[in-house]
Structure 1
């Protein structure tokens, strides 16, 4: 069996913490992952992992070997990237991280177009609302919503991320009218469990910038269940256009306070400044710019 494959399997098992997690990532069985690590240990003549029935941990040699193996695999990837540059054809595996709602409702559907256009590129898309480290976690590109800290990463500006205030007709029929953002203090708001979305909502209107405190009976860390709760009439929701658009068109949600604007959040695609712009990476940057760039704002329902 290929020694580099065994090495890559061992590194993945260490990074993910178990054979089963590595198996899911590599699309192998846990038994085959364990077999590959065992064969690598037999070849080296030394144990890499301490195993018990509940956990595994690196031996002293395993810890040193893991660090060296990561460098070897990175060098191999760099050599493959160099070959791709020479060929000029986008190819290889592209690792992308994106926020959950944008990833599910905007990026993933359009990503199919990219993969049809570049059939030699394989894509690993991870959706998470947690901040990830592009370099440490091994991503090629990361999509991030909000103001950027000074991270030293290169950033491609995309269209701003627009939120809309909505509620179901059944909810509005039994609650006081909403004529101003301040009226939200008398309503049930469905909170998004990140940043200020759980405690305050911002609006721009004739009075200028308004920061309205809200009370949430229900707070969730993903947009889709908040959408379902809003359609069921549990309260007012503030979520992105790509999530609520279909419900607005169907009439199951109503856009509220149209005379007030929710300040859009900047959105960027980040990549490492020292990473060679391989055809694979360049092709995705061009695709993202053409599909989600500032010149292509989404249309309101």
Structure 2
């Protein structure tokens, strides 16, 4: 295993507070995170993380190593950035983070197209519904479903996140079409597991908020899984328009309850001001702006 990668993983464990949190931030399994840490401990011949069945605690030696490792990783990142900024051609590793459904349905295809245009750029795309600190996690750019107030980040507004409520025609023929949000409680519901306080999507009715039914026949953290279940006639789905657009166009799904859909949520593409001059980043930002028909940001 690479010593540098082991340091990156250990720093992520300390900053996330757990192996599972580090795994989500790094886009690897918790088992692999544990292997990296164990290998590092074997190399250093000391315990860095004290593990129990309930928690992980960083040892005194671990705290010392964390401080030095983070400084070393920052210096490595600085060295890479200096060299990359000196070249006019986009190249190197671009680290991007995005929420799950937005990442799979929108960002992922754009990244693939970008890489075909700029073959010297490698992309690491990590999908997580947690808000990732771009500075602490060394990401170059992030996509966020939220308003943004952070003076250290450059923000590019993207088309808003708009939900659609829909179902397969065969489901509606059998179960009937609900005409009010309350009627949803009598139907089979498909729900995304990330819908919590931060990602709640209340429906609108007569100036009041009506929440999506809690009971569901299927819960998943993957919008594509929910989409396929809806197309198969398994129930009623609420997902973003970009995810269901093709199925609606093909008549595999039909939109319902359009008067009650949740309010739009803003979507931002953000990146640290300190990385603004990197060719790989400026090329990616310009590419996204062009593909989505957005104005260039100063």
What is the TM-score of this pair, normalised by structure 2?
Answer: 0.76
> Do 2:49 and 2:62's aligned partners in 1 also have CA atoms closer than 8 Å?
no
Deviates more, 1:152-161 or 1:271-280: 271-280
Offset at residue 36 of structure 1 (A): 6.5
Determine the C-alpha separation between the residues in 2 that align with 1:113 and 1:38: 42
Residue 298 of structure 1 corresponds to none
How many equivalent residue pairs?
A: 280
Q: Please give the root-mean-square deviation of Cα atoms over the aligned residues, in Å.
A: 3.7
The correspondence for 1:200, drawn from 199, 202, 212, is: 202
Offset at residue 237 of structure 1 (A): 1.6
Residue 12 of structure 2 corresponds to 15
Determine the C-alpha separation between the residues in 2 that align with 1:31 and 1:217: 38
Offset at residue 157 of structure 1 (A): 0.8
Decide whether aligned partners of structure 1 residues 56 and 259 sit closer, same or farther in structure 2, where only a CA change above 3 A counts.
Answer: closer
- Report the secondary structure of 1:125's partner residue: strand
> Do 1:97 and 1:142's aligned partners in 2 also have CA atoms closer than 8 Å?
yes
Offset at residue 95 of structure 1 (A): 1.1
> Do 1:10 and 1:37's aligned partners in 2 also have CA atoms closer than 8 Å?
no
1:212 matched to 2:225? The reply is: no
The correspondence for 1:6, drawn from 3, 17, 41, is: 3
1:66 matched to 2:63? The reply is: no
Determine the C-alpha separation between the residues in 2 that align with 1:139 and 1:211: 36
Offset at residue 32 of structure 1 (A): 8.6
Offset at residue 292 of structure 1 (A): 3.1
Decide whether aligned partners of structure 1 residues 263 and 51 sit closer, same or farther in structure 2, where only a CA change above 3 A counts.
Answer: closer
Q: What pairs with 1:1-301 in structure 2 (closer than 5 Å)?
A: 6-16=3-13, 38-39=42-43, 41=44, 47=46, 49=48, 59-150=59-150, 152-179=152-179, 183-184=183-184, 187-193=187-193, 194-195=195-196, 200-202=202-204, 211-218=209-216, 219-258=219-258, 262-294=262-294
Determine the C-alpha separation between the residues in 2 that align with 1:283 and 1:130: 26
Decide whether aligned partners of structure 1 residues 254 and 35 sit closer, same or farther in structure 2, where only a CA change above 3 A counts.
Answer: closer
Decide whether aligned partners of structure 1 residues 199 and 50 sit closer, same or farther in structure 2, where only a CA change above 3 A counts.
Answer: closer
What is the TM-score of this pair, normalised by structure 1?
Answer: 0.75
Determine the C-alpha separation between the residues in 1 that align with 2:126 and 2:293: 21
Offset at residue 269 of structure 1 (A): 0.8
Deviates more, 1:183-192 or 1:156-165: 183-192
* Larger Rg belongs to: 1
Deviates more, 1:265-274 or 1:142-151: 142-151
- Report the secondary structure of 2:273's partner residue: coil
Unaligned runs of at least 5 residues, structure 2: none
Decide whether aligned partners of structure 1 residues 48 and 278 sit closer, same or farther in structure 2, where only a CA change above 3 A counts.
Answer: farther
